[in-house]
Amino acid sequence: MQKTGIVSCGPRCLLRRATHGFTLPELIATMVIIGIMAAVVVPRFANRADFDVFGVTQQTRAALRFAQKSAIAKRRQVCVTIASNSLDLTFGTTFVDSCSGFTCAANPANCLTNPATGKGYTLPVTSGISITAASFYFSPLGKPSAAQSLTVSGGSSTQTITVEAETGYVH
């Protein structure tokens, strides 16, 4: 903000001098607004576990949707293994019979590639957050082997992820 003041330099001339900076009321108003925001916003961020639960839930939903879409696109069975500390996506490996199809086995050579990293799709779960352990697969038509209801919890927050039995819809 620029203010202009008139300064006398004698009887023959008037000079204009520019002043720079903020006025005292402007500075005080800014500090009051920052103080109010700090008092209201900071306590909301004190319990980070609730935000972590939401983040892990969203990442898990996205990974399950990716697994289903990959199964359909590649026309292969995609296995989902959820442990207490990670989620892994792999392709079905050993053909059992025409009724059972392929089995899921932890084989790094059959990992589904994460498009973001170019490596095997493994999603680590944030420490302090727990997720229901599960092992199932999506068929080449995108249908899961069984309906799933996964619970993500931590802190005072709990969220549920559901995989529908007939359609494989993840919500």
The pLDDT assigned to 98 comes to 46
Number of domains in the chain: 2
pLDDT band at 95 (very low <50, low <70, confident <90, very high): low
Spatial separation of the C-alpha atoms in residues 121 and 111, rounded to whole Å? 7
Residue with tokens 């207490």: 84
The CA distances from residue 85 to 62, 105, 128, in Å, are 17, 18, 10
Asked if 72 and 155 sit in the same domain, the reply is yes
Name 105's Cβ contacts closer than 8 Å, sequence gap at least 6: 90, 93, 94
The pLDDT assigned to 104 comes to 66
pLDDT band at 118 (very low <50, low <70, confident <90, very high): confident
Of 3-17, 79-93, 109-123, 141-155, the range with the highest mean pLDDT is: 141-155
Residue 171 covered by a domain:
no
> pTM for the complete prediction?
0.69
Asked if 38 and 59 sit in the same domain, the reply is no
Asked if 144 and 103 sit in the same domain, the reply is yes
Nearest Cα to Cα of residue 134 among 76, 58, 60, 70 = 60
Asked if 116 and 79 sit in the same domain, the reply is yes
Over the stretch 138-164, which tens digit does the pLDDT of each residue have? 989 999 999 999 999 988 889 999 999
Nearest Cα to Cα of residue 122 among 66, 47, 76 = 66
Q: Range of 26's domain?
A: 2-46
Asked if 72 and 148 sit in the same domain, the reply is yes
The pLDDT assigned to 29 comes to 95
The pLDDT assigned to 97 comes to 44
Range in 6-15, 86-95, 103-112, 122-131 with the lowest mean pLDDT? 6-15
Over the stretch 9-64, which tens digit does the pLDDT of each residue have? 655 555 555 567 889 999 999 999 999 988 888 777 777 788 888 999 999 999 99
Asked if 14 and 83 sit in the same domain, the reply is no
**Beta 157-163 vs 148-154: how paired, if at all?**
antiparallel
Over the stretch 105-114, which tens digit does the pLDDT of each residue have? 655 567 788 8
